[in-house]
Amino acid sequence: MKIPVVELSECILCGVCEEVCPSVFNLSELGYVSVAELPMYPESEVDEAIKNCPADCIFWQEP
């Protein structure tokens, strides 16, 4: 199963991923984007977040 990953060192905290795919991405109280641990990720929504990320810091990782 592919897992979405956010490269935090490149993330600009714009909130686009959280807006497009709130079931997977959220901005933590500590000020960084976290990825929810899910048994399966909504591929089309994550792909939309990847496509719209201005920092290009979201990608799929194969385990």
* Helix (H) or strand (E) segment spanning residue 60: strand 58-61
Please state, in angstroms and as integers, the Cα–Cα distance from residue 35 to each residue in 5, 6, 20, 41, 46, following that order. Answer: 7, 8, 13, 10, 11
Is this structure's pTM higher than 0.75? Answer: yes
Write down the CATH number for the domain with range 3-61.
3.30.70.20
Residue 25: left (phi > 0), alpha (psi -120 to 50), or beta?
A: beta
Instruction: Please state the rounded mean pLDDT for residues 36-61.
Output: 98
33-35 and 58-61 beta bridge pairing: unpaired
What is the average pLDDT score of the chain? Answer: 96
* pLDDT surpasses 90 at 1: no
* pLDDT surpasses 90 at 39: yes
Only one residue has tokens 């990608």, namely 59
